[in-house]
């Protein structure tokens, strides 16, 4: 049999905690006691530890320790820690019993924690920022300060005790009312109104508060009523000049304000200008300016801008300040003048160029010169624009404009004209002006383009002949073309000659249809080779193709003749042949001699072979060879 022992239940309680911060103290303390009871077996005393959880709230509180150890006195089991509070407020605390070997844990309900504080009675002081000076017919202000000296601050309603003030002096409102005093001092600004009828002099009045503190007394404010000084306002004449090239001019408009009652009392505030622009097209940078005093002179300025020559006027009104009356100046003259631009003249020289022999175009500079005819030393700047009428020149410009520059006192610029054919045209230059110069246009300048022509030439070909030698199948001969410059003899033609062959009955051909000219000992020629294959005749002509400085030319047809050399006639003879077959022999031999004679040219010895034809008959004969080769001995 097994038995189990169960732990006793417990309950934990914490009473409410209270303490008071005594007058003059910064904190208070109270005991926080946790009581733990065995709710199962009253005589079984709990042991162990209790843990506190403090929610300080607004008390600024803390515990001397978060835990305490239980002890039992007179049958009550409890333990305590100390709570310290630093400001009036409330919070809470709970206690948790951790149990022991025979007791279960338990947690108390939250107990309230209350801290109170004993405070001194409310007290404060009043002071002011006076004395204050106010000009007749105006208002002034004075600052009242409420400073907390004891206790907790309460709202204080401020009021003015004006029974001591003359008629016409009244207290206006406070900017803050009620005001709550602070240790640093809470402020409120009081407005004091003074009528223009109030006599000059010193006055005083009181400002008090409600409720008053234990030692609070009203504050006395000293007031002095003063009168405004008279002033005079003046504006000097205004003038500006619109510079050459400019669109407007500017000048300062200065208003000077003087205190005519107390010169050392410098006026402050604003001056308002009234501009009558008239014919100036003028305006002001601002209608008002704020006075400042430098070296004893009180003034301020705005800027006048004029856009056209003419005149107008301007006046200034000083608005016064707390110690100065208003004043208005007399009207000051406003004058705008304009500097005009200088006149100019533009010129362009005539333009000419020559297209060189063999070239396709020519170029020339087109120069525009611009002069200031008003002030010679004021050199024009900016751009010249050209207008080209090319006419029959096929011309164009490298650019329609150029930018002027001045060298050695001459202002000019240029573009390049290119002409492509002989002819004439014209050109005009227009100067566009600049900030100090008017525009101008030149008169039309002529443009002339010429072209150098090519030299004339003559081409010739000599007659061509060759003979096909005896036994040959063809013959050759040179075909020479000669080209001459008939305009400038020393200008030797170059380039190519092209031959045209009419072969006729010659069966002829050329080694090439063309040849390239070369000059030797002053003669310009070239050649190809003609080959003829049969006796007959034909013709050949040569065409020169020209070059960069020479025109073309063609020769007359030259005769081509081919001849052939024929063979000499010959006679051939053979002597009779006889031989005897000796007794006992079977054959006999004899020489067979052929003699060949040139019957046309006896000295032209024939050569070659002789062929024999034997008719043997009854001889039974034969030849050692059917042929023999001729040889000549002693003319035979």
The whole-chain average pLDDT of the chain stands at 93
Tell me whether residue 4 is in a domain: no
Residues 65 and 162 in one domain: no
The whole-number pLDDT of residue 470 equals: 86
Domain assignment present for residue 2? The answer is no
Confidence band, pLDDT 50/70/90 cuts, at residue 4: low
- Which CATH number does the domain housing residue 109 bear? 2.60.40.10
Q: Is the pLDDT of residue 527 over 90?
A: yes
The closest of 530, 540, 490 to 510, measured between CA atoms, is: 530
Which position has the higher pLDDT, 69 or 341? 69
Same domain, 112 and 15: yes
Rg (CA), the chain: 72
Q: Is 609 exposed, middle or buried (0-12, 13-18, 19+ CB in 10 A)?
A: exposed
Instruction: Tell me how far apart the alpha carbons of residues 576 and 551 are, in angstroms, rounded to a whole number.
Output: 80
What is the mean predicted confidence (pLDDT) over 30-38? 96
The listed range with the strongest mean pLDDT (188-197, 231-240, 563-572) is 231-240
State CA 244 to chain mean position distance.
32
Q: Is the pLDDT of residue 617 over 70?
A: yes
What's the pLDDT at 3?
A: 58
Give the Cα separation of 325 and 261 in Å (integer): 10
What's the pLDDT score for residue 1?
Answer: 60
Q: pLDDT tens-digit profile of 281-322?
A: 999 999 999 999 999 999 999 999 999 999 999 999 999 988
- In the prediction, which pLDDT does 491 show? 92
User: Is there a single domain that holds both residue 258 and residue 313?
Assistant: yes
Ordered DSSP codes for 179-218: B--BSS-EEEEEEEEE-TTSPSEEEEEEEEEES--SS--P
Question: Within a domain: residue 297?
Answer: yes
Distances (CA, A) of 57 to 92, 95, 109, 167: 8, 17, 17, 58
Neighbour-count burial of 393, counting CB atoms closer than 10 A to its CB (0-12 exposed, 13-18 middle, 19+ buried): buried
Q: How far is CA 1 from the centre of its chain?
A: 104
Q: Rounded mean pLDDT of 10-30?
A: 93
Same domain as 348, residue 330:
no
Where are any strands of DSSP class E within 373-409?
383-389, 396-397, 401-403, 405-407
pLDDT in tens, 57-107: 999 999 999 999 999 999 999 999 999 999 999 999 999 999 999 999 999
478 and 514 part of one domain: yes
Round to whole Å and give the CA distance between 313 and 306: 12
**205, 152: one domain:** yes
List the domain range (segments joined by +) for residue 507.
Answer: 457-564
List the one residue out of 203, 258, 257, 207 whose CA is nearest residue 226. 203
Lowest mean pLDDT among 55-69, 90-104, 413-427, 598-612: 598-612
Name the residue among 551, 531, 552, 550 with its Cα closest to residue 540. 531
Q: Which run of H or E residues covers position 354?
A: strand 351-355
Q: Which of 609, 610, 600, 598 is nearest to 636 (CA)?
A: 598
The answer to whether residue 403 is domain-embedded is yes
Instruction: Give the pair of three-digit tokens for residue 345.
Output: 């003249």
| pLDDT 10s digits, 531-576 | 999 999 999 999 999 988 889 999 999 999 999 987 778 899 998 9
Q: Which of 398, 429, 451 is the last residue of a domain?
A: 451
Q: Are residues 208 and 258 in the same domain?
A: no
How many Cα atoms are found within 13 Å in the side-chain-facing hemisphere of 146? 31
- Rounded distance between C-alpha atoms, residue 187 and residue 332, angstroms: 49
pLDDT for 70 equals 96
* pLDDT, greater one: 24 or 68: 68
Of the three residues 117, 142, 157, the one that is the final residue of a domain is 117
Q: In the prediction, which pLDDT does 387 show?
A: 97
Q: How many percent of the chain have pLDDT more than 90? A: 77
Q: Which of 564, 585, 615 is the last residue of a domain?
A: 564
Same domain, 503 and 545: yes
Q: What are the b/e assignments for 190-199, b being 16+ CB within 10 Å?
A: bebebeeebe
Residue 482 contacts residue 460 (beta carbons within 8 Å): yes
Residue 585, pLDDT > 90, answer: no
Confidence category of residue 368, pLDDT binned at 50, 70, 90 = very high
pLDDT at 460: 97
From CA 382, how far away is CA 431, in angstroms rounded?
A: 8
pTM of the prediction? Answer: 0.35
The region of weakest confidence among 241-245, 422-426, 432-436 is 241-245
- Nearest Cα residue to 224 out of 130, 159, 143: 130
Q: In whole angstroms, how far apart are CA 253 and each of 127, 299, 316, 449, 542?
A: 48, 10, 10, 66, 99
Phi, psi of 235 (to 5 degrees): -130, 130
Q: Around Cβ 574, how many Cβ atoms within 10 Å?
A: 11
Model confidence at 453, in pLDDT bands (50, 70, 90)? confident
Q: Which residues pair with 239 in a beta bridge?
A: 335
Percent above pLDDT 70 for the chain? 99
Query: Is residue 625 assigned to a domain?
Result: yes
* Residues 6 or more apart whose Cβ sits within 8 Å of residue 619: none
Both tokens assigned to 385: 């624009």
Flag whether 581 is in a domain. Answer: yes
Q: Are residues 334 and 359 in the same domain?
A: no
Residue-wise pLDDT for 140-149, tens only, equals: 999 999 999 9
Q: How many domains does the chain have?
A: 6
**Cis, peptide link before residue 471, omega less than 30° from 0:** no
Is 152 found in the same domain as 218?
yes
Is the CA virtual torsion 525, 528, 532, 538 positive or negative? negative
């Amino acid at each position: 049999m097994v038995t189990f022992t169960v732990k006793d239940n417990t309950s934990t309680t914490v009473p409410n905690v209270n303490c008071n911060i005594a007058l003059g103290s910064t904190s208070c303390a109270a005991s926080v006691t946790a009581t733990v009871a065995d709710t199962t077996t009253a005589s079984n005393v709990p042991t162990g530890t209790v843990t506190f959880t403090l929610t300080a709230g607004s008390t600024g509180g803390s515990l001397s320790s978060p835990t305490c150890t239980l002890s039992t006195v007179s049958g009550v089991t409890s333990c305590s820690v100390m709570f310290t509070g630093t400001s009036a407020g409330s919070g809470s605390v709970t206690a948790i019993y951790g149990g022991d070997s025979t007791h279960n844990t338990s947690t108390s309900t939250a107990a309230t924690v209350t801290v109170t504080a004993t405070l001194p009675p409310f007290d404060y002081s009043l002071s002011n920022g006076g004395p204050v000076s106010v000009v007749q017919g105006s208002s002034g202000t004075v600052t009242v300060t409420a400073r907390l000296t004891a206790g907790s601050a309460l709202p204080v309603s401020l009021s003015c005790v004006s029974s001591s003030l003359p008629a016409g002096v009244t207290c206006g409102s406070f900017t803050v009312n009620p005001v709550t005093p602070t240790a640093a001092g809470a402020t409120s600004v009081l407005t004091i109104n003074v009528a223009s009828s109030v006599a000059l002099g010193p006055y005083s009045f009181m400002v008090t508060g409600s409720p008053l503190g234990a030692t609070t007394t009203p504050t006395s404010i000293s007031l002095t009523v003063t009168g405004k000084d008279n002033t005079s306002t003046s504006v000097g004449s205004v003038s500006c000049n619109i510079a050459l090239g400019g669109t407007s001019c500017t000048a300062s408009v200065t208003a000077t304000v003087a205190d005519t009652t107390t010169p050392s009392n410098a006026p402050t505030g604003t001056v308002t200008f009234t501009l009558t622009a008239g014919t100036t097209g003028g305006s002001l940078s601002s209608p008002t300016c704020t006075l400042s005093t430098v070296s004893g002179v009180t003034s301020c300025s705005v800027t006048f801008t004029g856009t056209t020559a003419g005149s107008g006027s301007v006046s200034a009104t000083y608005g016064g300040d707390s110690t100065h009356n208003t004043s208005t100046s007399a009207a000051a003259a406003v004058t705008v003048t304009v500097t005009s631009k200088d006149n100019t003249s533009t010129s362009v020289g005539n333009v000419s160029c020559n297209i060189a022999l063999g070239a396709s175009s020519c170029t020339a500079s087109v120069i525009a010169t611009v002069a200031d005819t008003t002030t010679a030393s004021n050199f024009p700047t900016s751009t010249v624009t050209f207008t080209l009428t090319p006419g029959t020149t096929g011309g164009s410009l490298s650019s329609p404009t150029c930018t002027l520059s001045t060298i050695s006192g001459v202002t000019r610029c240029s573009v390049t004209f290119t002409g492509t054919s002989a002819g004439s045209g014209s050109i005009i230059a227009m100067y566009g002006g600049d900030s100090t110069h008017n525009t101008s246009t030149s008169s039309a300048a002529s443009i002339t383009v010429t072209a150098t022509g090519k030299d004339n030439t003559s081409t010739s070909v000599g007659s061509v002949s060759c003979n096909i030698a005896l036994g040959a199948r063809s013959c050759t001969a040179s075909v020479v073309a000669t080209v001459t410059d008939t305009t400038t003899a020393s200008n030797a033609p170059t380039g190519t000659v092209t031959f045209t062959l009419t072969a006729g009955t010659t069966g002829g051909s050329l080694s090439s249809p063309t040849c390239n000219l070369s000059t030797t000992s002053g003669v310009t020629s070239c050649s190809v080779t003609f080959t003829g294959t049969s006796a007959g005749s034909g013709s050949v002509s040569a065409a020169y193709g020209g070059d960069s400085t020479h025109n073309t030319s063609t020769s007359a047809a030259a005769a081509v003749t081919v001849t052939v050399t024929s063979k000499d006639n010959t006679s051939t003879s053979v002597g009779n042949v006889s031989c005897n077959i000796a007794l006992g022999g079977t054959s006999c031999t004899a020489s067979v001699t052929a003699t060949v004679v040139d019957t046309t040219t006896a000295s032209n010895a024939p050569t070659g072979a002789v062929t024999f034809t034997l008719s043997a008959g009854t001889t039974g004969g034969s030849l050692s060879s059917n042929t023999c080769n001729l040889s000549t001995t002693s003319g035979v």
